[in-house]
Amino acid sequence: MQLTASRLLMSHLIALAVFALVTLALVPLIYSSGGIANHDIQRYGKYLCWAALAVSLNLLWGYTGLLCLGQCVFFGLGGYAFGMYLMLNVGVDQVYKTALPDFMDFLGYTELPAHWKPFESFGFAVGAVIWVPGVMALIFGFLAFRSRITGVYFAIMTQALTYVAWILFLRNEFTFGGNNGFTDFKKILGANLYSHPHTSTNGKELLFFILSALLLIVTILLMIALTRTRFGKIQRAIRDSENRVRFSGYCTENFKLFIFTLAAIIAGIAGALWLPQAGGINGDVFLPRESLWVVVWVAVGGRGTIWGPVIGAILISALKSWAQREYENTWIIILGGVFLIIVLFLPGGISSLGKKLLGWIRICRSRTENFITNRKKKVDPNGDGEETLQ
């Protein structure tokens, strides 16, 4: 058992080392030589952020048994927190001639609202990316878990949370851009955020790609470490039988609250890194369908596994991007068909394909050996080396 666990750990670490080599060395090298365009490196960076978001949901659903249908709420909160800093660094508006965000000028604001002023500081904005979704999850999780809300009821509550956030952030008086949201970013820490194709100005596209890769690597390392600790074992026991864990003397509510808050923080950081690579954010990020996409990524890749959510998020996102481009009117049918095929024939997700193939190979080998043995018995039933003709 220990030997198998050691081999599994080694395989995860080797895969992570290869992933780190590709994302932190190979891709930047190709990008620097002009082999990858700016819009492509931004697209790859978004895939990595979505993969980190999927891993955060897997931490809840795959390892703790908490199906959260509102993970994009925390993703969006992290994005908005960092977006507030970026909006305050756009510069003087050419139409209204003020340094206020354009939607504030349109609504008649003459000065920056009090809750926006701290976000002029880069350090405060980075901290808000962590504590805003963290505090939100802490309050929501405390109320839900202390009330012993589990299963489908917890999933429904988290989906209701997405509706609340969506309605709030669409309101103009909520001072977060309404329907238009945040867009047209220019600078970060005094440097240009984006490269300009007609000038020699370089942006920070590669930097955010590398930061996205680092976030995903650290998140996967955290998952690997967590699954090997006593905490991780209790976490999986809560998933399998929470009442039995509770009767053993553990306060399962505290475990779930910690995991829920940790997953929200990971999602918030992913949202903050995704924002400058996406170029903008609005209230649609809180739509229930966005959180359901994350559930699809985890289910397709394989929940309760280390690499399944990463595979699912990157593969489905890339397939969606291709299908929307090539089959504008039928892309959703293509994705739905892929999802149905995987659910029906690979209920463990794409990550279980390796085990399935090994199982099929063993079955084929066993049947071949049985066939050869039976053939020999028919040819030489006495085993004396003399063939018997039938």
Kindly state the DSSP code that residue 255 receives in the 8-state scheme: H
Structure tokens that stand for 379 in this block: 């040819």
Query: What radius of gyration, in Å, describes the C-alpha atoms of the chain?
Result: 26
Q: How far apart are CA 216 and CA 218, in angstroms?
A: 6
The mean pLDDT of the chain is 88
Q: How far apart are CA 97 and CA 80, in angstroms?
A: 24
Note the pLDDT of residue 196: 78
Kindly state the DSSP code that residue 191 receives in the 8-state scheme: E
Nearest-10 crossing angle of helices 308-326, 38-64: 130
Note the pLDDT of residue 30: 93
How many beta carbons lie within 10 A of that of residue 65, not counting itself? 21
Evaluate if residue 260 carries a pLDDT over 90.
yes
How many residues make up the chain in this entry?
390
Strands 280-281 and 191-192: unpaired
Whether the predicted model's global pTM rises above the 0.75 cut: yes
Per-residue pLDDT band for 19 (boundaries 50, 70, 90) equals very high
Calculate the alpha carbon distances from 65 to 150, 232, 256 in Å: 9, 13, 10
The burial of 159, by beta-carbon neighbours within 10 Å (0-12 exposed, 13-18 middle, 19 or more buried), is given as middle
Note the pLDDT of residue 378: 63
Note the pLDDT of residue 2: 53
Torsions phi, psi for 284 (to 5 deg)? -65, -20
How does pLDDT run across 348-377, given as a tens digit for each residue?
888 877 777 777 777 777 777 776 777 666
Evaluate if residue 385 carries a pLDDT over 70.
no
Note the pLDDT of residue 389: 46
User: Please, are residues 269 and 130 in contact by the beta-carbon 8 Å criterion?
Assistant: yes
**Mean pLDDT, range 308-330, rounded to an integer:** 90
Note the pLDDT of residue 386: 54
Note the pLDDT of residue 297: 94
**Comparing C-alpha atoms, which of 53, 103, 11 is closest to residue 273?**
53
The CATH number of 41-345, from 3.30.70, 1.10.3470, 1.10.760, 1.20.120, is 1.10.3470
Report the percent of the chain where pLDDT is more than 70.
Answer: 93
**Mean pLDDT, range 166-184, rounded to an integer:** 89
How does pLDDT run across 21-68, given as a tens digit for each residue?
999 999 999 998 989 999 999 999 999 999 999 999 999 999 999 999
Note the pLDDT of residue 379: 61
* AA letter at 142: F
How does pLDDT run across 143-167, given as a tens digit for each residue?
999 998 888 999 999 999 999 999 9
Calculate the alpha carbon distances from 242 to 66, 141, 154, 312, 315 in Å: 11, 16, 14, 28, 33
E strands in the chain: 182-183, 187-188, 191-192, 280-281
Torsions phi, psi for 325 (to 5 deg)? -80, -40
How does pLDDT run across 91-144, given as a tens digit for each residue?
887 777 788 888 888 888 888 999 999 999 999 999 999 999 999 999 999 999
Structure tokens that stand for 114 in this block: 């009090």
**Comparing C-alpha atoms, which of 214, 212, 231, 217 is closest to residue 306?**
217
Q: Is 387 helix (H, G, I), strand (E, B) or coil?
A: coil
* AA letter at 71: Q
How many beta carbons lie within 10 A of that of residue 262, not counting itself? 17
Strands 182-183 and 280-281: antiparallel
**Mean pLDDT, range 181-209, rounded to an integer:** 84
Note the pLDDT of residue 354: 73
